[in-house]
Chains A and B, each alone.
Chain A
């Protein structure tokens, strides 16, 4: 058991830190947040400088953590341009990988994933978007909600119903995943405004009105879409955990800085104990979240994913992000409210929700544990 990152990952941390320090200025972060503006220029630079090295998932993981630690909105914007690409990797055919996945990994194209719907939320199998076979292509009708990269992606991987389920209890059957080019007639987008946080990221509603998708744009087998998406979530949740780690660590950084500068000291000249204990609690939670996340990642990156540990990592890191930002705000008082911690506080809350709510993660943990134990 080795708790150290290897040298390559350590170098990625340094590279990400240098990049964030150079480009994630408070002015840019504040403007992107205020204007709900996707940082197109910074994302382009990050691609040029190959900040994300998709050939090494450990490097991707620690890069997300480090960039988000500097600023969540910008960090997530920079690291989400290939969102969903693992679906190509595991279930796409060679032609799809060549045409769609490789340009995304090369930083030439942006990908989005269309799963959540207005009435669906956590109930993924209950989606209403339909794809009907019409000659050599499918016609897509319906809509998707809260889609990251919605306005800027070149392609989307879209979950749609291709056949009716055999029974209401088996709704997860009959769903398929399609590659949809954003330039296809009938496809339109509404940007969502007024988010609480991660306002630099681009979030939109997608609308499919008789969108014609070639048959060859179906990923894998018809009817296996739910399985593909759940498999993907077991990967992406680890990266969301890394976002949580970054936010929590960022809050800790700011609280420690505040303590050095403004923290009240007692007669002994040391920081007052309530502040010391709060720092210790946040630091311990960050470390625990990191250990869980890296453990989940080590299973996954050896191609032996462990969904229990994955869900634990996502749930715990998200909770730690929310907890840490709240405690730091409470302790830093107006000094927290008037600095970028205010943004961290707003940004953190989405981690409780996206890629599986905290409640869903907890249910997965227990159900999988009981299943493994044969209960």
Chain B
């Protein structure tokens, strides 16, 4: 394109350059009005009157600019525009709705400038208004989208909260399952060990004439080994878990708790008598699995190392001293030569009755659990008369859990040790 040169100018329609200023004001493609500083309308152009549907004489000196806005817009004008005009002398691009004579609205952008007298007194406000009907629709879409996005964000936050609650619930269920597996594997182990022993015995003493018997015996043995391995595996998994999260102390009613353990023991010899007396301290605040393991080991030991010539008598009781609650397990069994074994009593793999099967884990575990509960174990024993184990647990503050009692979870040490320990041997 070639730029217009001087020669081309005369070709323009000169009427354009003689634009009538009044006509331009009246019919400009935007609304104009002039107001007094308080907003009273003194002059409006035809474009604005056409938008509004008012006659000039209905507005001039009778209405103010604010009254042409919706009530909300008017509030905004009074609190935002009016002070800005007086302080800064102008406002730009304020978005309002004009209220037409017929009640309908017209979205406009308002810009205004304050005209002052020479002494600075505000004289008039010049206002120009632009019809933004189409742009307003688009802006409202944007606003709607923004509101929607905010709602979705809130929904997301709610969903997150639900997930968190669900997660907490699952964690709890997981812990419960852990406890179940722990207890189940713990309690299964003893009878299965018995089955192993019985089976050995059976194989030695019984002769089968069936040709199939040999392979069946091996299969049975394999199955037993598999059960033991599975239980070991289960226990190890659970205890790994436990090592990471401590089991909280909780009130444990000793009588039903101990009765349950007694029921889970291998069948006691004929004439066995248990005596339970928890009157002094019927409830202990302690981690349940730890207490279970501790009592299980002591009680099964009491039966296992019973004197061969008399029926076992086992007394389980509690007592209180000034600073401790004492849980005692007393038997009338073979007894331990403490002068000889005193130092190694609680050591791992130490055994004092080689004539009875065992792995040397039980007392090690008992001692360890007691220490983790912040307590200690004392032993009295006389050979061929009986043994008394006393577990001293720190006295808890009234209605409060002792911090010392909390760590009575499964020991964090080598896990297989503890599991084998639950075979209750010494």
Do chains A and B stick together as partners?
A: no
* Residues of A near any B CB (own CB < 8 A): none
* Residues of B near any A CB (own CB < 8 A): none
